[in-house]
Amino acid sequence: MKLKYIGMLLLAIVLAFLYFFINPSEVDFLPKCPLYLTTSVYCPGCGSQRATHQLLNFNIIGVFEQNALFVIGVLIIGYHFLISGINYIFKIYIYNYIYHPKTPIVLLIIIIVFWVLRNIPYYPFSLLAPK
């Protein structure tokens, strides 16, 4: 069981080094979005590889330019780990709203609205498209 977590941690470290040193917009060997390649429609995840590179290089504005939804995702993951860590370390129970029954519905609505808005080619919606 612990070997699985060690493997996942090693994979995360390797990917972090890869995306820290390699800018996905400057190379061709990293995967491209299949939806965008076939339809020219930005999916909610388009720009996430470049956003990861920008985040690892502490360029927060660059992260927003590539994928604003990525920032929300990072904040949600950070919230989850913070609450879980506090509960584990201090042996207390703080409710984690990630597990609220309505959270997936709210997140799905946010993702769909973001998806539609980032594909409208007019200002200010064009700011949501990756650069």
Average pLDDT, integer, range 97-125 = 95
Tally of structural domains, the chain: 1
Q: Range of 117's domain?
A: 2-128
Distance between CA atoms of residues 12 and 93, nearest Å: 29
> What does pTM read for this prediction?
0.85
Alpha carbon 75 to its chain's center: 9
Alpha carbon 6 to its chain's center: 22
Distance between CA atoms of residues 105 and 121, nearest Å: 27
Distance between CA atoms of residues 13 and 30, nearest Å: 17
> Does 56 have pLDDT greater than 70?
yes
- Over the stretch 58-108, which tens digit does the pLDDT of each residue have? 999 999 999 999 999 999 999 999 999 999 999 999 999 999 999 999 999
- Over the stretch 9-50, which tens digit does the pLDDT of each residue have? 999 999 999 999 999 989 988 889 999 999 999 999 999 999
